[in-house]
Amino acid sequence: MSAKPFLAISNRIRSTPFTSRVMNMGASAFTVYNHMLLPTEFESLEADYWHLCEHVQVWDVGVERQVSLKGPDAQKLLQWMTPRDISNVQVGRCVYVPLADEKGCLVNDPVALKLAEDHWWLSIADSDVLLWAKGLAVGANFDVELHEPNVWPLAVQGPKAEQLMQRIFGESVSDIKFFRFEHREYQGHLFIVARSGWSKQGGFEIYVDNAEHGVQLFDELFDRGAEFNVRPGCPNLIERLESGLLSYGNDMTINDTPLEAGLGSFFNLSENTKALSMPALLKQQEQGLRKKLIGLLIDAPEGATPLAENPVVSAESDNKYFPISVVGSQAWSPRYRMQMATVMLDAPFCNQASVEVQLVDGRTVDAKIQSIPFDFTGLPQYQPMS
Ligand code: THG
């Protein structure tokens, strides 16, 4: 077997103010996200997972770029871009807003921050939202200023995140409620701090808008975090799958609608008639979905992952195998000792209890169909092997 390919890093793949630190601290793998470097692994996926679930990690998620919409038509533009009704969202709130195009297809799924009545940030997943927003605003002659400010979110995640954040920003950081943000001071600089983050282990996100103050803060998080066993980390594939957090570009793409991706619960189809995607989404709901994103739980050992391409899921009734799905993400859960996968599955199979899945080792096994998030109730829970 050949050595792992490496990533050639040039200016097109942007760094964050923390990249050199994260590399020195042992990041062992990176991916590219919004044309930027995102660490994906430190010690190992599994070691990082257990640590995240027990302690606290600081994540360089500077790749979550902010697209700033400012001006009299800022909210009008955002309401056009998302099927979620944002008319009653107050300043200081974060909202998860799937963005969909005129065909109803997913363009991105950012967290939106309402900074002021005429100012929003879209904290984006991996696609060029700025270009899409500009095209819409220019075409519709909207009075709105659009740009990507230099803001690099730092996430502090894990059960001890709150204690560590209190050491830095004071006890009042605990007043910040889930999916809200407030300004907090560190060394004379005001940061936007939200209680949010791409894990279900609890924590905060600090929107660093100044590199110099940011690296000071970064270093202090590690100094003060020693007593909480802090480590550098990153969004963890195992944890986020167990928690049912979806990744745009992996679990769903511009070929899928938010209804197909199971994001229909975040909006009400009758509510926001201003959304660009609404006619297409209403039509799709009326006609029925052709495919759905579902979860697969597979009782197979570590290493026995489903095939990435054509896992060959077949109808139970006949013996002919044919591809009816695409695997989105997959990981082995060390806690439940099960293979987890997300799959965009043809609708006729979605109501079955299980499907047959081909694994990399050639075996074909039964996989339980579940809705996302997975339901692990009744399964034994394992501890980390030391
Ligand atoms: N934080 C910030 N920006 C981001 C992400 C983030 N941009 C990219 C990506 N992550 C966007 N995708 C998601 C998906 C899910 C959630 C957040 C961002 C999330 N969902 C919760 C849930 O599903 O339970 C809460 C949703 C809600 O209550 O509205 O947290 O992580 N800054």
pLDDT in tens, 73-115: 999 999 999 999 999 999 999 999 999 999 999 999 999 999 9
pLDDT at residue 30 is higher than 70? yes
Residue 264 to residues 168, 261, 292, 315, Cα–Cα distance (Å): 38, 8, 11, 27
Within a domain: 9 = no
Within a domain: 248 = no
Nearest CA to ligand 1 atom 15: 245
Is 125 touching ligand 1 by the criterion CB < 6 Å?
yes
Ligand 1 atom having least distance to the Cα of 178: 28
**Whether residues 179 and 121 fall in one domain:** no
Three-state SS for 57-111 is: EEEECCCCCEEEEECCCHHHHHHHHCCCCCCCCCCCEEEECCEECCCCCEEECCE
How far is it between the farthest Cα atoms of the chain? 69
Q: What was the pLDDT predicted at 1?
A: 47
The CATH code of the domain that includes 214 is: 3.30.1360.120
Higher pLDDT, 3 or 321: 3
State what percent of residues in the chain have pLDDT above 70: 96
**Whether residues 83 and 227 fall in one domain:** no
Is 205 touching ligand 1 by the criterion CB < 6 Å?
yes
Is 153 touching ligand 1 by the criterion CB < 6 Å?
yes
Report which DSSP code applies to 276: T
Nearest CA to ligand 1 atom 32: 123
**Whether residues 207 and 304 fall in one domain:** no
The CATH code of the domain that includes 80 is: 3.30.70.1400
110 CA distance to ligand 1 centroid (A)? 7
Q: What was the pLDDT predicted at 317?
A: 53
Within a domain: 56 = yes
Helix H or strand E encompassing 218: helix 211-225
- For residue 212, name the pLDDT band (cuts at 50, 70, 90): very high
Residues pairing with 370 in the sheet: 295
Q: How many structural domains comprise the chain?
A: 3
Ligand 1 atom having least distance to the Cα of 125: 8
109 CA distance to ligand 1 centroid (A)? 8
Q: Are 149 and 157 in contact (CB under 8 A)?
A: no
Q: Would you call the peptide bond into 159 cis, given omega within 30 degrees of 0 as the criterion?
A: no
The span from the CA of 69 to the CA of 124, in Å, is 13
The CATH code of the domain that includes 352 is: 2.40.30.110
**Whether residues 302 and 320 fall in one domain:** yes
Mean predicted confidence (pLDDT) in 344-358 = 89
Three-state SS for 357?
strand
Q: What was the pLDDT predicted at 316?
A: 53
Ligand 1 atom having least distance to the Cα of 197: 31
Within a domain: 140 = yes
Q: In which region does residue 270 sit, left (phi positive, over 0), alpha (psi from -120 to 50) or beta (all else)?
A: alpha
Total-model pTM: 0.96
Q: What was the pLDDT predicted at 137?
A: 98
The span from the CA of 80 to the CA of 101, in Å, is 9
Residue 163 to residues 61, 221, 225, 227, Cα–Cα distance (Å): 21, 11, 9, 10
Nearest CA to ligand 1 atom 9: 125
Per residue in 368-386, pLDDT (tens digit) is: 999 999 999 999 999 997 6
**Whether residues 234 and 308 fall in one domain:** no
**Whether residues 308 and 362 fall in one domain:** yes
175 CA distance to ligand 1 centroid (A)? 20
pLDDT at residue 60 is higher than 90? yes
Within a domain: 246 = no
- For residue 6, name the pLDDT band (cuts at 50, 70, 90): confident
- For residue 349, name the pLDDT band (cuts at 50, 70, 90): confident
**Whether residues 196 and 312 fall in one domain:** no
112 CA distance to ligand 1 centroid (A)? 9
172 CA distance to ligand 1 centroid (A)? 23
Residue 349 to residues 160, 246, 291, 368, Cα–Cα distance (Å): 42, 21, 9, 12
Nearest CA to ligand 1 atom 23: 245
Nearest CA to ligand 1 atom 29: 96
- Amino acid present at 233: G
Instruction: Please give the residue range of the domain that contains residue 176.
Output: 19-62+151-241
247 CA distance to ligand 1 centroid (A)? 9
- For residue 44, name the pLDDT band (cuts at 50, 70, 90): very high
Is 112 touching ligand 1 by the criterion CB < 6 Å?
no
**Whether residues 155 and 280 fall in one domain:** no
Three-state SS for 183?
strand
Q: What was the pLDDT predicted at 358?
A: 86
Tokens standing for 24? Answer: 């020195």
**Whether residues 385 and 296 fall in one domain:** yes
pLDDT at residue 272 is higher than 90? no
358 CA distance to ligand 1 centroid (A)? 31
Is 245 touching ligand 1 by the criterion CB < 6 Å?
yes
**Whether residues 164 and 232 fall in one domain:** yes
38 CA distance to ligand 1 centroid (A)? 16
3 CA distance to ligand 1 centroid (A)? 35
C-alpha torsion sign, points 127, 133, 134, 140: positive
Q: Are 191 and 217 in contact (CB under 8 A)?
A: yes
Ligand 1 atom having least distance to the Cα of 235: 31
**Whether residues 68 and 178 fall in one domain:** no
**Whether residues 228 and 309 fall in one domain:** no
Within a domain: 13 = no
Is 124 touching ligand 1 by the criterion CB < 6 Å?
yes
Nearest CA to ligand 1 atom 26: 96
Give the number of C-alpha atoms closer than 13 A to the C-alpha of residue 129, restricted to the C-beta side. 33
Within a domain: 1 = no
Decide: residue 65, CB within 10 A, 0-12 exposed, 13-18 middle, 19+ buried: buried
Is 239 touching ligand 1 by the criterion CB < 6 Å?
no
179 CA distance to ligand 1 centroid (A)? 9
